[in-house]
Amino acid sequence: MEFSGKSAFVTGGGGGMGLNIAQDLLRGGANVTLFDLKPAPAGLDEGPGKATYVQGDLTDEPRVGKAMAQTFDANGRLDYLVNAAGVLLLGQDKSLVEIDLDLWDRVLVIDLKSMVHTVRHAVPLMRKNGGGAMVHFSSVQCLRGDDQPQDGYQASKAAMVALSKSIAIQFAADYIRSNVIYPGPTMTPMQARWENNPEAQAAVAGRVPLGRIGTSQDMSNACLFLLSEKASFITGTELIVDGGVMAKP
Ligand SMILES: NC(=O)c1ccc[n+]([C@@H]2O[C@H](COP(=O)([O-])OP(=O)(O)OC[C@H]3O[C@@H](n4cnc5c(N)ncnc54)[C@H](O)[C@@H]3O)[C@@H](O)[C@H]2O)c1
d(C-alpha 20, C-alpha 238), whole Å: 20
**Residue 2: per-residue pLDDT:** 87
Collect the ranges in the chain with pLDDT lower than 70. none
State which ligand 1 atom lies nearest to the alpha carbon of 114: 31
Distance in Å, CA 174 to ligand 1 centroid: 29
The residue nearest atom 27 of ligand 1, judged by CA position, is 86
Does residue 17 line the site of ligand 1, with CB under 6 A? yes
Whether ligand 1 lies within 6 angstroms of the CB of 190 is answered as: yes
Whether 153 is catalytic: yes
Residue among 23, 87, 163, 191 whose CB has most ligand 1 atoms within 8 A, to mutate: 87
Please tell me the predicted confidence (pLDDT) of residue 15.
86
Q: Whose CA is nearest to atom 19 of ligand 1?
A: 190
**Ligand 1 neighbour 7 (Cβ under 6 A):** no
Atom number of ligand 1 nearest to Cα 186: 3
**What is the structure's pLDDT at 74?**
98
Q: Whose CA is nearest to atom 2 of ligand 1?
A: 186
Cβ of 183 closer than 6 Å to ligand 1, yes or no, is: yes
Sketch out the chain's domains with CATH numbers.
Answer: 7-244 (3.40.50.720)
Closest atom, ligand 1, to C-alpha of 219: 10
Q: How far apart are CA 43 and CA 221, in angstroms?
A: 19
Position 119 scores a pLDDT of 98
14 to 35, 54, 71, 160, 195: CA distances (angstroms): 7, 10, 17, 21, 18
Residue 1: predicted pLDDT:
76
Please, are residues 128 and 77 in contact by the beta-carbon 8 Å criterion? yes
Angle in degrees, CA 209, 212, 218, rounded to 5: 100
Four-residue CA torsion sign, 82, 87, 93, 99: negative
Atom index in ligand 1 nearest the CA of residue 58 equals 32
